[in-house]
Amino acid sequence: MKESLQMLAHDLPMNDPRARALSRAQKITLKTTGGDLVCHHWGALSAHPTLAPLVLLHGGSGSWTHWIRNVLYLSQHRDMVAIDLPGMGESALPPLARDADDLSATLLEGLDQLFPHQAVDLMGFSFGALTGGFLAAVAPERVARLVLVGTPGLVPRQEAPRLRGLSVNMGHEEVLAVMHHNLRVMMLAHDESIDPFTLEIQRTNVGMDRLRKRRLASGDALLGLMPKWRCEVHSVWGSLDTLYLNSRRATFDVWAGCRHRSETVIDNAGHWVMYEATSEFHEAIHRILIA
């Protein structure tokens, strides 16, 4: 799989969205006690006169490419870094790391190198939102605003999406069939949202996931963290998000423990809302982080 990542950085045709995004990015490998932390930066690494730097944390079994349809838009307005979470993408798996609560130390070391003594706006998707919640609790002074996109960890999940697994003897088409099923069951609300490019992103990202057997996302871990957050909090959802289709009211009534300032529900979109409803997502984020 490392050969695939090298291809992403150097050998993709320029009509591939990843190549276009990478051509405008600076890849940065940060040395931490948890191993290499890889991120991609768009913009100037100097402090913006009025806005904090924006840091993006992707979802589980993902990489910075979970934001592939968003990075160029956001980078027009913000100094921005998309981090490959420890144990996923090109970032190393820290020793003994098992779940979101084990990643804060490595991420803080990375932020100290990128933006020393500076608070950042932190936007996390899914598992990245859960990870961002732990980081904001451990180091509240480092997070100016917290944007939670399709976040788990608010109510115990009564029934997990029925995902399919891979086996070593599967052929290429069988692997893609598994990717399609899992995207449709968990990530995207519509079949037409899944094209060959989407399948390739999923295949590559899943193959690089070494942070296995995560459990915190299926519970309500964020509720206990909220009182430790000092920043304002915003939430964004797809109305068809698989995580909360059967517990919408319970989910959206949990914000009393923090400084929750806005909640945006984007109609007719699934869990991977910034990919499936990109324009509507950008409108929401513009109001929250840019306007």
* Every domain of the chain and the residues it spans: 2-290
pLDDT for 244 beyond 90:
no
Each residue of 42-84: pLDDT tens digit? 986 554 567 899 999 999 999 999 999 999 999 998 899 999 9
Each residue of 143-189: pLDDT tens digit? 999 999 999 999 887 777 788 988 889 999 999 999 999 999 999 99
**Range scoring the smallest mean pLDDT among 14-23, 188-197, 241-250:** 241-250
Residue 251: pLDDT band (50, 70, 90) is low
Give the pLDDT confidence score for residue 99 in this predicted structure: 97
Mean pLDDT of 251-258: 83
**Range scoring the smallest mean pLDDT among 99-113, 123-137, 168-182, 251-265:** 251-265
CA 4/CA 22 separation, integer angstroms: 15
Share of the chain above pLDDT 90, in %: 78
Does the domain at 2-290 match CATH 3.30.420.40? Answer given as no
Give the pLDDT confidence score for residue 152 in this predicted structure: 94
CA 65/CA 275 separation, integer angstroms: 10
pLDDT for 261 beyond 50:
yes
pLDDT for 103 beyond 50:
yes
Each residue of 210-222: pLDDT tens digit? 998 899 999 999 9
Residue partners of 261: CB distance under 8 A and separation at least 6: 232, 233, 234
Give the pLDDT confidence score for residue 36 in this predicted structure: 98
Give the pLDDT confidence score for residue 148 in this predicted structure: 98
pLDDT for 245 beyond 80:
no
What pairing do the DSSP bridges indicate for beta strands 35-42 and 26-32? Answer: antiparallel
pTM listed for this prediction: 0.93
